[in-house]
A and B are shown apart, each in its own frame.
Chain A
Amino acid sequence: MRRLAGQVAIVTGASRGIGRAIALELASWGVKVVVNYQSSAAKAAEVVAAINASQGQGLAIQADVTKPDDVKRLVQTTLDTWGQLHILVNNAGITRDNLFQRMKDADWDAVIEADLTSAFLCSQAVLPHMQSMRYGRIVNVASLAGLAGNVGQTNYAAAKMGLIGLTKALAREVTAAGIVVNAVAPGYVETEMIEAIPHWLRTWALDVIPLKRFGTAEEIAPAVAFLASPAASYIIGHVLTIDGGWVMP
């Protein structure tokens, strides 16, 4: 399975949830993985330990991906350590749910910055290196909330659908340089982020999802690894939904 041996990836927001599963999956494909985190140092260290325990190579790097200087340092440290960078997974994200008319400006802005602007900044920071290699894979972790909307998540839906817009626009710009940009759009996935949703919404969601269960982070990660591999060379600006059949867009 070490099909991507020798490659290097940055996974943002990789200390927990879907990002953690993506980091472990890529490592199992032989990728050297930078486990980026903002504040969960101990959890990031656990992910790195898990990678190293299975003969992989992981490196935890703290960086707030909404801050341009942090992003530059994240990419530079990766290149200083491993000399190359093939894969960027823009996974970092937060939620600040509320009904639109009760939502504070700060909650709107925080989600747009963390879920959308961060992907712009990280993509921009890795492009010069990927362009010089004439190879790169960028995978953005969007959400079904962007494609289908969700009560209480106008900010999150805007950020995630905005991320799909960014995916397609960037995909067009960089294909000629051998860089492939795609997105995945997970539906409901069992993570800490999802634990916060109200009971009625959980019941409703379980009812409308044909598989009658939420996904696991491990069910998202293989699709990300596939889009991050050379096999995805003719898939451009695609949004792969992984939602148990919920929306079938």
Chain B
Amino acid sequence: MDFSDQVTIVTGGTGSLGREIVTGLIERGSRVLFCYRQREEAAQELVDLLGSDDRLVAVKADVRDQEAMNKLVEEALRRWERLDTLITAHSAVSNAPVVNMTLEQWNEVLDVMLRGVTRVCRAALRPMQKARYGRIVNVVGYQPLAGALMQANYAAALGGVIGFSKALAREVAAWGITINCVAPGLISRPQMAAFDPSYIPWATNIVPLKRLGTPAEIVPAVLMLAERESGYMSGQTITVDGGWRMV
């Protein structure tokens, strides 16, 4: 997979998946502009770590702000005069069982996870249509496909991203723009340290591969969909889950 000469925007670049996606893109020659909401130090660390001669830029920008997303895209165009690929990998959780979930919790997760994707897509589509080329890959999750306890808001928001991606894929197909999703299964993440200790043994046991996935193992599917050669794949959701559900 070669992304030389290409320009990619990644949202949520400091998240555990976002970091790996940014790393994979840089290793394969892309110029990358990623955004993050709060973690300035983590963003700088990633830029320093990958040390990639101005091919990597971090921008503090909130996906809840349409203007910030417009500026993000403008910045990529200003620097490199093109935008080939958009990858959304930002995340926000606010867990509760439905019976106790507040409307604020519901709306907050929908705003970041679903509306956030639509905002950055809206900003990115204009240059892609002009270039008559584009790849959009939205990282979702198993929650809308398999359900998940305490995460009705997350499942609804990511299900929304899948539905949105399919409808938009139909609208912009004529411009050579493809839109797909990747749905990671049970992936090992730092925040799991706070989970019920029975979770990891349970999760490990139900997956045929008998282990959780790593964030780096999501990257090949994301990059495959981001490739120029993947032009006949659109509106799909690829599950990467160690054989957990096989649907």
- CB contact list, B90-118 vs A, under 8 A: 97-99, 101, 103, 106-107, 110, 114-115, 118
Binding-face segment, B140-148, B197-205, B219-227: B140-148
A147 and B143 CA atoms in complex are apart in Å by 15
A216 and B125 CA atoms in complex are apart in Å by 37
Beta-carbon contact of B170 and A149 below 8 Å: yes
Does chain B have a CB within 8 A of A165? yes
A163 and B159 CA atoms in complex are apart in Å by 7
Beta-carbon contact of A158 and B106 below 8 Å: no
A123 and B106 CA atoms in complex are apart in Å by 13
Residues on B with C-beta less than 8 A from A44 are: none
Residues on B with C-beta less than 8 A from A100 are: 118, 121-122, 125, 167-168, 171-172
Beta-carbon contact of A151 and B170 below 8 Å: yes
Q: A127-B98, A149-B170, A163-B159 are in contact. Are A169 and B143 (CB under 8 A)?
A: yes
Beta-carbon contact of B143 and A161 below 8 Å: no
Contact residue among A121, A151, A168 (Cβ-Cβ distance under 8 Å from B103): A121
- CB contact list, B153-172 vs A, under 8 A: 153-172
Does chain B have a CB within 8 A of A99? yes
Beta-carbon contact of A149 and B147 below 8 Å: no
Does chain A have a CB within 8 A of B193? no
Residues on B with C-beta less than 8 A from A171 are: 147
Beta-carbon contact of A154 and B99 below 8 Å: no
Beta-carbon contact of B157 and A162 below 8 Å: yes
A145 and B153 CA atoms in complex are apart in Å by 20
Residues on B with C-beta less than 8 A from A151 are: 167, 170-171
Does chain B have a CB within 8 A of A186? no
Contact residue among B97, B147, B153 (Cβ-Cβ distance under 8 Å from A168): B147
A150 and B164 CA atoms in complex are apart in Å by 9
Beta-carbon contact of A117 and B106 below 8 Å: yes
Beta-carbon nearest neighbor of B163 in chain A = A161
A162 and B109 CA atoms in complex are apart in Å by 12
Does chain A have a CB within 8 A of B238? no
Q: A158-B160, A161-B162, A165-B160 are in contact. Are A149 and B110 (CB under 8 A)?
A: no
Beta-carbon contact of B155 and A165 below 8 Å: yes
Does chain A have a CB within 8 A of B89? no
Beta-carbon contact of A99 and B171 below 8 Å: yes
Q: A112-B160, A149-B166 are in contact. Are A169 and B171 (CB under 8 A)?
A: no
Beta-carbon contact of B99 and A127 below 8 Å: yes
- Chain B interface, >50% SS class: helix
Does chain B have a CB within 8 A of A198? no
Beta-carbon contact of A157 and B167 below 8 Å: yes
Does chain A have a CB within 8 A of B83? no
Does chain B have a CB within 8 A of A160? yes
Does chain A have a CB within 8 A of B235? yes
Beta-carbon contact of B149 and A101 below 8 Å: no
Beta-carbon contact of A169 and B166 below 8 Å: no
Interface size on A, residues (CB 8 A): 46
A155 and B154 CA atoms in complex are apart in Å by 17
**Chain A: minimal CB distance from B195 (Å):** 16
Residues on B with C-beta less than 8 A from A120 are: 98, 101, 106, 152-153, 156
Contact residue among A101, A128, A145, A166 (Cβ-Cβ distance under 8 Å from B167): A145
Beta-carbon contact of A161 and B159 below 8 Å: yes
Contact residue among B103, B107, B126, B151 (Cβ-Cβ distance under 8 Å from A169): B151
Q: A154-B164, A159-B160, A173-B152 are in contact. Are A128 and B99 (CB under 8 A)?
A: yes
A121 and B171 CA atoms in complex are apart in Å by 31
Does chain B have a CB within 8 A of A164? yes
- CB contact list, B21-44 vs A, under 8 A: none
Does chain A have a CB within 8 A of B207? no
Beta-carbon contact of B99 and A166 below 8 Å: no
Does chain B have a CB within 8 A of A152? yes
Does chain A have a CB within 8 A of B216? no
Contact residue among A128, A156, A161, A169 (Cβ-Cβ distance under 8 Å from B152): A169
Q: Which 7 A-B pairs have the closest CB atoms?
A: A161-B163, A165-B159, A149-B166, A165-B144, A168-B147, A162-B160, A165-B155
Beyond the given A100-B118, A121-B103, A155-B164, please list 17 additional residue pairs across the A-B interface where CB-CB is below 8 A.
A100-B122, A124-B98, A124-B99, A146-B159, A157-B167, A158-B160, A158-B161, A158-B164, A162-B110, A164-B144, A165-B143, A165-B145, A168-B147, A169-B148, A171-B147, A173-B98, A237-B147
8 contacts between A and B (CB under 8 A): A101-B126, A124-B98, A127-B99, A151-B170, A168-B147, A168-B148, A169-B148, A174-B98
